[in-house]
Amino acid sequence: MNSSVMVLLPAFNEEKNLDSVLSGIRYHLPGTRIVVVNDGSKDRTREILEGHPDITALHHPFNLGIGGAIETGFRYFLQTSSRFLLRIDADGQHPPAEAKSLLGPLISGQADTVIGSRFLKKEGYQSSLTRRGGIKILNILSAFILGQAITDNTSGFKAYTRTAVESLIEDFPHDYPEPIEVYILSRKGMRIVEVPVRMEERREGLSSISYIETYYYLIKVLLTILVKHMIGGKK
């Protein structure tokens, strides 16, 4: 089973977390194809990756942002013969031990995309109050627009089938990949399933979104979804 799974890790300045995250993936998901997209890191991320010859490293010459890194990973995935793509953040927030539960619904053919939600069982790291407020607003909006209640729209702990990746790559949402992805997939008729996962607080370094930016991010995401929804977009 594992050889048909590609694990994608977008990484930006993750020298402190990368080794342990990679060991965790090797231990919990043996035989999977691990691909790290180094999104223009300024630290030793590149050197660390060179020390792992069993891992495919894709290096961006400069930082594009999370959306750019995911798009590169998606394009690589479509060049391989892998059937499923599992996305895990390189900052240690997504325990590889939880990954199997994400793959289950894909393998059994019940879903095209599986989102690991930290709010379904309310275990593990639950994010700050500010962010949870923001996520709640997003959830209400997505339930209203999509007609499907998603509890963790901003989760990056996700698994996709090839069909789901193909449907996203056409018009990839670079700026806010997580919530917009859910929107695009749902509009294209992809089956989205959420499974409960435990998340950890990131081990080292800084998150890509600071607390001050949380609500600015939320407003921009809401506007993007509304604009996409009103214009209709490509089905």
Could you say whether residue 5 binds another protein (CB under 8 A)? Answer: no
Could you say whether residue 83 binds another protein (CB under 8 A)? Answer: no
Quick one: which of 5, 6, 85, 111 contacts another protein (CB under 8 A)? 6
Q: How far is the CB of 154 from another protein (least distance, A)?
A: 21
**34 vs 115 by CB, closer to another protein:** 34
**64 vs 141 by CB, closer to another protein:** 64
Compute CA 113 distance to the chain's CA centroid, rounded to the nearest angstrom: 11
Q: Do the Cβ atoms of 112 and 212 come closer than 8 Å?
A: no
By CB under 8 A, the count of residues binding another protein is: 26
Could you say whether residue 61 binds another protein (CB under 8 A)? Answer: yes
Could you say whether residue 178 binds another protein (CB under 8 A)? Answer: no
Could you say whether residue 231 binds another protein (CB under 8 A)? Answer: no
Long-range contacts from 75-80, C-beta under 8 angstroms, 24+ separation: 75/169, 76/6, 76/8, 76/35, 76/37, 77/6, 77/8, 77/35, 77/162, 77/165, 78/162, 78/165, 78/166, 78/169, 80/6, 80/33
As a whole number of angstroms, the distance between CA 36 and CA 57 comes to 5
Could you say whether residue 45 binds another protein (CB under 8 A)? Answer: no
Q: For residue 85, which of 200, 181, 6, 15 has the smallest C-alpha distance?
A: 6
Could you say whether residue 35 binds another protein (CB under 8 A)? Answer: yes
Quick one: which of 75, 187, 188, 198 contacts another protein (CB under 8 A)? 75
Q: Do the Cβ atoms of 175 and 213 come closer than 8 Å?
A: no
Positions that interact with another protein (CB under 8 A): 6, 33, 35, 37, 53-62, 64, 67-68, 71-72, 75-76, 79-82, 174
